[in-house]
Structure formats: C-alpha cells, structure tokens
Amino acid sequence: MTEFGVSLALLLSAASQASVHMIWKAAGDKLVIRSIIGLIEAVIMIPLIVFVPWPSGVVWGWLFLSVVVHLIYQLVLIEAYKSLDFSVAYPLARGVAPIATAMLGAVFLGDHLGPLAITGIVAVSAGLITVSLGAKPHRNVLIAAIIAGLLTTAYSVIDAQGIRSASNAFTFIVWFFAIDGLVILSITVFRRGRLLPELMKAEGYRGLIGGGISLFGYTAALGAFRLISIGAATALRETSVVFASLLARFFLKETIPLKRYAGIFLIIVGSTVLAFNL
C-alpha cells in the first residue's frame, strides 16, 4: 500500500472511531452497547478463523495481552463517559496517546521517526490537549479519562507487535475481534444477568451500526500498525478528535467553546505534516 493509501485508511479509521465512540457515549447502558458492538465483530470474524493461518505461540501471547488491555480500557472509558461531555472525555482519553506511543514504538519496536514526523506528532498531541482545556471534571472522572489514554498507548504498542509477529496479518485481526467480542459479552452477561436481553433490545440497532463501523475502523488501524511507525499511525488516528468534536456539536448538541477550535486546527496541521512524512 502507498503512503497516501495508508494515510487515507487511517483518516477513515479516525472518522469510524469517532462515530463508534459517539454511539457508545449516547447509549443508555454503555456496557451493553459495547457488548453488542463486540458481539457483531465476533459473529463476523469467527467464521473466518478457518481461512487464516493458526496463530503461533508468540502471537497467542500478544493476543492475550491485547484482549486484557482492551477490556480494561473499555471499562475505564465507560466510567469517564458516564459523567463527562463527549467533546471533553474523548480528547482527554486520546490526548496522551500519540507522544507516548511514539516513544514506546521507538524503544520497543525499533520505529524510526524523522524530525518532521515528530513535529507532526507533537502538534497533534498539543491540539488534543488544547481541545479539552477549560473542562473541570471531577477528579475521579479525570483520572479515568487519563488512564484510558495510557491504556490506548499500551494496546496500540501491543497490537502493533502482535500484528507484526504474525506471518499473516489477518490471523491477528480475525482472532483479536473474535476473542475481544466474546470477552466483553461475557463480562456483560455476568454483570447484567437476566436483564441483558431487554437491555440489548433497547440498544440493538445502534449496536449493530457501531459493530460494523468499529470492525472496519480498527481493521484499518491494525493494517497501518503493520506498515508504518506506531507513533505516526496513532497520531493520524487521533485526528478522530476533530470528527468527534463535530459529532458532539451537531448530533449530541454539546456546546464547544471557541478556544477548542484552536486545538482542532493544531490537530489538522499536525496530521497534514504526518501524512506527507510517514
């Protein structure tokens, strides 16, 4: 795939990610909607298991780590979404990821970033933080959002290592979605019990849409993790904050202060620099 193709795939992934998180934030029961999304992903991917090579022992290890970190991330982010506006919680949760991921990618994956790419990552990170300025969330909610951001860094590095370790990229992709979907569904069954069928019925159509979008969006991101440096891929993917701000304004009817648009501008500038310097 060309550099332009990778950049385009990541921007589409960013738009998809923002849309899924808006659906997640707007849901009445955020755990249930996430379990429906996971169920849709698993139902689509499980039949494909027979068509991809079996994971090696190393890949199984990365898959296990990935599913555990994704699960913790999802549960932590649910707590942030319960109390914060989407236009605040989402940038907070994503803001620490690009720089931290770039640093870990360089240390653990041997990724190399040139000066302009580093400049782009810094601009995106600064923009993400600026977008969330002015919010005054409760301390526990703020902590939850920041932890979610650190977990984003963790699962990005783990997933990059996992998909690069697999002889066939689709081995990691198919097994990840299959296991991740079944795990979050199992947690939801345990926590909601006999109420789950009725709750799933109430959130069903949004979960169905979210599942399809999520599957496309993160598959594109995983493919990019295999092809380019994880820091650049994460920074481009975090342009989802731009899409999230628009969705929050026009669909969730949240008020976005004028100063947050300065952050959006920084994200756009940084992502443009990155797109031409992968």
What's residue 92's pLDDT?
65
What's residue 211's pLDDT?
94
For residues 207 and 40, is the Cβ–Cβ distance under 8 A? yes
Give the number of other Cβ atoms within 10 Å of residue 233's Cβ: 32
C-alpha to C-alpha distances, 61 to 45, 68, 110, nearest whole angstrom: 19, 11, 20
What's residue 66's pLDDT?
97
Task: List per-block mean pLDDT (blocks of 10 residues) for the chain, which spans 278 residues.
Answer: 76 87 86 94 97 96 97 86 66 65 73 78 76 62 74 90 95 97 95 91 88 94 88 76 74 71 76 66
Please tell me the distance from the alpha carbon of residue 231 to that of residue 241, in angstroms, as a whole number.
Answer: 16
For residues 210 and 53, is the Cβ–Cβ distance under 8 A? no
What's residue 171's pLDDT?
97
What's residue 209's pLDDT?
93
Q: What is the pTM of this model?
A: 0.82
